[in-house]
Structure 1
Amino acid sequence: MINFENLEDARMLAQAIVNTIHDPLLVLDKRFHVLAASRSFYETFKVNAEDTYGQLLYTLGDGQWDIPALRLLLETIIPAQTAMNGFEVEYDFPGLGQRIMLLNARQVVYGEGSGTTILLAFTDISARRAIEREKDLLHERTEELLRQKGVLLQEMQHRVANSLQIIASILLLKARAVTSEETRRDLQDAHQRVMSVAEVQRHLHVTGGIDQIEVGSYLSTLCSSLGSSMTGESQPIEIKVSAEIGRIGSDQAVSLGLIVTELVINAIKYAFPALNPEASIVVSYDVNGSNWKLVVSDNGVGKETVPDAKSGGGLGTAIVQALVKQLDAQIETVSDATGTAVSITHATFSARLPEAA
């Protein structure tokens, strides 16, 4: 403890401590007269000691410090709570202009009969609040731009889906009108390819424009469409989908959908030349992190027993090979008298999903 020889030494030390504080600081008596002010107070608010020392706080600067929020803090909150930190005030402060200040106040109670003083500190947070407001405004603008982008994306997807449906309908009408069986098959194949892309667009529209497709739902809907349009009572073929839960980007979904379309169409055309009540095609999708494996298998007669199956390089084969390359994957075909399985693999791991019996 420091022992002072006289009161003046103590006062000088107290003033020195006040002057070292970075933020503006006032020392007030219990009636809110200024007992001391820090150097930063004079510099910040551009006032001098002669017009400040001993003056009632509310009369400083021709009454410009008579701020309702400041009165509330000093006359109501401090007597009840002794201290208050972070009391925010926005005001046109004298000599400083419009500012946002954090007021920190503390009541110091001395021994019996010695009275009390109030320490009042000001922290200018105007710049900080301006930055926060700019950030909030930028966030709101970003959210609005994203919302507008989402609306435009949905509108574009809706228009694309409608256009694809129109193209598919025209192809189907042309297929019914032509007399050449080969041309009819080609038009039907083209129709199914367009429909596989349209299905991606439909999924995007249903999910609110999010550029992600749920694989199982997408492949199930696609294969259901293929089955209803390309199989009939003369040769019923069950098309089953077994896919793990997961999402993929719409661009990848388009490629996978086209691959499945080509392979399923090929199996429907060539795997069951004779009536087979147990005819089955299985589309499986297995995923492990970034690795995945797509398998389209059937329990048909196998390619070796169907000389005209165009396994050597028709349009469908060329489409599949190009899409597999685009997906940075590998293709493998296994075919014998018990059926055919075509595997499209991105990386290498053992598939856990069943193939057709």
Structure 2
Amino acid sequence: MIYPVDKLEDAQTLAQAIVNTIPEPFLVLDDRFRVLSASRAFYSTFRVDPEQTAGCLLYALGDGQWDIPALRLLLETIIPQKTSMDGFEVEHDFPNLGRRTMLLNARKVIYDNNPSSTILLAFMDVTARRAIERERAELLVQAEELLRQKEILLQEMQHRVANSLQIIASILLLKARAVTSLETRQHLQDAHQRVMSVAAVQSHLHSSGGIDQIEVSSYLSKLCSSLGSSMIGETQPIEIRVMAEDGKIASDKAVSIGLIVTELVLNAIKYAFPTHRAGALVLVTYEINASDWKLVVSDNGGGKIIRDPAMAKGGLGTAIVEALVKQLDGTMEFTSGASGTLVSITHATFSSRMPQATAPATTVN
């Protein structure tokens, strides 16, 4: 229920009570910018004397602390044109307060039967808020600078790693050419190929910009292309084909998968085709099903018939692949026969949808 205010004194008392209830500093000005009323928050915030405020020109308050060019612009230019303004920001040094940032909200009140008008002026101290925003902005700039430095450092580290791998590979190759023992030479050549494999994986990850997620299809295609160009001779042309479903993998997982593919493809190039074979093919497939995946490297070469169980364990290359598969929480199957060899690495249960280069007869887990 609304109770009418009949007397002017009562209306003024009610208006002053409303003004004092406002928690932020608040002023009521006449059309000549003299103070008609001020809230308690205004007096306590700006520490001005109430007796020296009422009826005083705003610009003369507190020894001229409100004689601010930006405030004059608001009251004398903007308000007469727009009658209202929200969020007008003023930064000023106030006596006894120091430098403060204020948001001013102003309204011009025009009466129907009175040519005069009043201006309602509210103040909001946003000094702390602006300081926090500046601090956040500075932290953001610092974070961006740290990220830039990190990227530069990462690029430098990748460059040095690549150079170091090339140096190690060159030393191994020189040693292999210098030794007389065929067995030692073979071991050094194998070590050289593995170092080059690591260098190839590192190079492809570096070309991806050091991002956390690697596009698996293009990654495997580029990797196998470089392996083929560096390892396949003219006496036995071998096609290395990649069929991979679209998807991304984490960079750390990409390193392990890249090393596995490198080891298996190099093994196929070296041993699957001891004699010339038309249509020689090494096929690399990668399938994805949610978080599950399946990697298969197969060839249509002569196969590796395993008669001695000790031979099934393989050499250093097999040990490397098995360690990487375990790291990926996968399982590996090896099948070989007269029509070729197939090695599959599976994460969780997976039914393959990809073709294979061979349909081997003998399976070794």
TM-score surpassing 0.5?
Answer: yes
1:312 corresponds to:
313
Q: Does the 8 Å CA contact 1:204/1:212 hold for their aligned counterparts? A: no
What code does the residue aligned with 2:129 have?
A: R
Q: Identify if the C-alpha distance between structure 1 residues 220 and 272 changes in structure 2 by more than 3 Å, giving closer, same or farther.
A: same
* Structure 1 segment 41-56 matched on structure 2, within 5 A: 41-56=42-57
* Partner deviation per Cα, 1:58-91 (whole Å, 9 max, x = no partner): 1111222111111111111111111111111011
Q: Identify if the C-alpha distance between structure 1 residues 339 and 204 changes in structure 2 by more than 3 Å, giving closer, same or farther.
A: closer
Quote the Cα distance in structure 2 between the aligned partners of 1:17 and 1:225: 80
* Partner deviation per Cα, 1:178-204 (whole Å, 9 max, x = no partner): 333333332222122111211222223
What code does the residue aligned with 1:339 have?
A: G
* Structure 1 segment 258-273 matched on structure 2, within 5 A: 258-273=259-274
What code does the residue aligned with 1:236 have?
A: P
What code does the residue aligned with 2:158 have?
A: Q
* Partner deviation per Cα, 1:242-298 (whole Å, 9 max, x = no partner): 222333334323322222232223323332233211221111122233222111101
Quote the Cα distance in structure 1 between the aligned partners of 2:240 and 2:187: 22
Quote the Cα distance in structure 2 between the aligned partners of 1:220 and 1:179: 37
1:12 corresponds to:
13
2:163 corresponds to:
162
Q: SS in structure 2 opposite 1:351?
A: coil
Q: CA deviation at 1:309?
A: 11
2:361 corresponds to:
none
Pick which of 318-327 and 266-275 moved more.
266-275
What code does the residue aligned with 1:66 have?
A: D
Q: CA deviation at 1:306?
A: 8.2
1:249 corresponds to:
250
Q: Identify if the C-alpha distance between structure 1 residues 233 and 206 changes in structure 2 by more than 3 Å, giving closer, same or farther.
A: closer
What code does the residue aligned with 1:202 have?
A: S
1:149 corresponds to:
150
Q: SS in structure 2 opposite 1:303?
A: coil
1:75 corresponds to:
76
Structure 1: gaps (5+ residues)? none
Q: Does the 8 Å CA contact 2:204/2:223 hold for their aligned counterparts? A: no
Q: Does the 8 Å CA contact 1:286/1:292 hold for their aligned counterparts? A: yes
Q: CA deviation at 1:37?
A: 0.6
* Partner deviation per Cα, 1:192-243 (whole Å, 9 max, x = no partner): 2111211222223323333444333333333334334443233222222222
Q: Does the 8 Å CA contact 1:204/1:211 hold for their aligned counterparts? A: no
* Partner deviation per Cα, 1:117-172 (whole Å, 9 max, x = no partner): 11111011111111111111111111111111111011001100110011112222
Aligned residues: 357
Quote the Cα distance in structure 1 between the aligned partners of 2:312 and 2:218: 30
Quote the Cα distance in structure 2 between the aligned partners of 1:113 and 1:270: 104
Pick which of 288-297 and 216-225 moved more.
216-225
What code does the residue aligned with 2:195 have?
A: V
2:351 corresponds to:
350
* Structure 1 segment 186-205 matched on structure 2, within 5 A: 186-205=187-206
Pick which of 153-162 and 237-246 moved more.
237-246
2:235 corresponds to:
234
Q: Identify if the C-alpha distance between structure 1 residues 193 and 309 changes in structure 2 by more than 3 Å, giving closer, same or farther.
A: farther
- Compute the TM-score of the two structures, normalised by the length of structure 2: 0.91
Quote the Cα distance in structure 1 between the aligned partners of 2:42 and 2:170: 80
Q: Does the 8 Å CA contact 1:303/1:311 hold for their aligned counterparts? A: no
Q: Does the 8 Å CA contact 1:303/1:309 hold for their aligned counterparts? A: no
1:219 corresponds to:
220
What code does the residue aligned with 1:320 have?
A: V
Quote the Cα distance in structure 1 between the aligned partners of 2:167 and 2:218: 23
Q: SS in structure 2 opposite 1:304?
A: coil
Structure 2: gaps (5+ residues)? 359-365
Percent identity (aligned): 71
What code does the residue aligned with 1:85 have?
A: D
Q: Does the 8 Å CA contact 1:28/1:36 hold for their aligned counterparts? A: yes
